[in-house]
Structure 1
Amino acid sequence: MAVTFKGNAVTLMGSQVKAGDKAPNFTVLANDLSEVTLDDTKGSVRLISVVPSIDTGVCDAQTRRFNEEAAKLDNVKVLTVSVDLPFAQKRWCGAHGIENVQTLSDHRDLSFGEAYGVAIKELRLLARSVFVINSNDEVTYAEYVSEVTDHPNYEAAIEAAKAAN
């Protein structure tokens, strides 16, 4: 899949996943620096919102939108993954009243980025994307946004999360 950042082609590292695939495991950091893996949310539907940097306009809007939707979704854990430092994620969430989304940092070793094929080689950021993983750890929805500065298809992701329950 071809992905651009501000109109320039970028290289995604890792293997992209698609609906029907077994969800790859990963290790990221929570805001308190504890390790979090896919297995930590086993038995739940996961909507994973991936953003390049939480402090930018589209990423801010994406995280806020999924935070609002998370309050309406039963048995769905909403995770936002970026390479921002855990401290910055915690500060941003506190400043913006984000309480329904768990922010996770992939800054340490790009474990998530490479497992899901969203690590941008040239920028060491993650490409905007959304994944839904059901309680059996199967990917039921995967969207790789072709232009990193564009919004994802919020409605499709939310419907996929509801259907995966």
Structure 2
Amino acid sequence: MAQITLGGKPANTSGNIPQKGDGLKDFKLVNPSMETKTLNDYKGKKLVLNIFPSVDTGICAKSVHEFNKRAGSADNTMVLNISKDLPFAQKRFCGAEGLENVEMLSDYRFNQFDEGYHTQITDGAFEGLMSRVVIVADENGTVQYSEQVPEVGQEPDYESALKHL
């Protein structure tokens, strides 16, 4: 279990996120077209997993924009924005914001992403949502960088994450 804060108040997560050298765990998530996506769908690509509570919060939306701008068109790289938002909300958000270089994925249907990534907030106001986490993996699915942002309302360290692509 890791401890983070939300508005300065302590909150816990379901475990410790993957660390450098770990392999990515398989997952089943749903894209805005209601298709199931797994880790195998991104085989051979560098991945930026931008995990957050909801696209309907300012910092989450900003992180999607930043990764879209900074890494979305990088060679052989996919930015996966992962939350528990419904795919309809994710699609609306991307359409309204003109985001085309990132992929939105939802854990609403299978609710299992946390088993491999330990991002679920287990208490406090955001209980049941995912904490703010960035994981960068190479083409072989090996974690090169991971960060669990200590305060949910804080942006991730974009520069450090992107140095590892």
- Summarize the Cα distance change of 1:114–1:10 in structure 2 as closer, same or farther, 3 Å threshold: farther
Matched residue pairs, number? 161
**Structure 1: which 5+ runs fail to align?**
none
Range moving further from structure 2, 113-122 or 152-161: 113-122
1:31 deviates by 0.6
Supply the distance in 2 between the matched residues of 1:153 and 1:131 (Cα, whole angstroms).
Answer: 11
Task: After TM superposition, list the pairs within 5 Å mapping 1:55-134 onto structure 2.
Answer: 55-122=56-123, 123-134=127-138
**1:137 to 2:141 alignment:** yes
RMSD: 1.3
Asked whether the equivalents of residues 29 and 105 of structure 1 are also in contact (C-alpha less than 8 Å), the reply is: yes
Asked whether the equivalents of residues 110 and 119 of structure 1 are also in contact (C-alpha less than 8 Å), the reply is: no
Aligned to 1:38: 39
1:18-64 deviations in whole A, cap 9, x for unaligned? 00011111111111111111111010100111111111110111000
1:15 deviates by 4.6
Aligned-partner SS, 1:24: coil
1:121-164 deviations in whole A, cap 9, x for unaligned? 23111100100111111111110101111000001111112xxx
Task: Tell me the TM-score normalized by structure 1.
Answer: 0.92
Aligned-partner SS, 1:88: helix
**Structure 2: which 5+ runs fail to align?**
none
Asked whether the equivalents of residues 48 and 136 of structure 2 are also in contact (C-alpha less than 8 Å), the reply is: yes
Supply the distance in 1 between the matched residues of 2:135 and 2:72 (Cα, whole angstroms).
Answer: 18
Supply the distance in 2 between the matched residues of 1:14 and 1:111 (Cα, whole angstroms).
Answer: 14
Identity %: 39
Asked whether the equivalents of residues 15 and 114 of structure 1 are also in contact (C-alpha less than 8 Å), the reply is: no
Task: Tell me the TM-score normalized by structure 2.
Answer: 0.92
Asked whether the equivalents of residues 48 and 131 of structure 1 are also in contact (C-alpha less than 8 Å), the reply is: yes
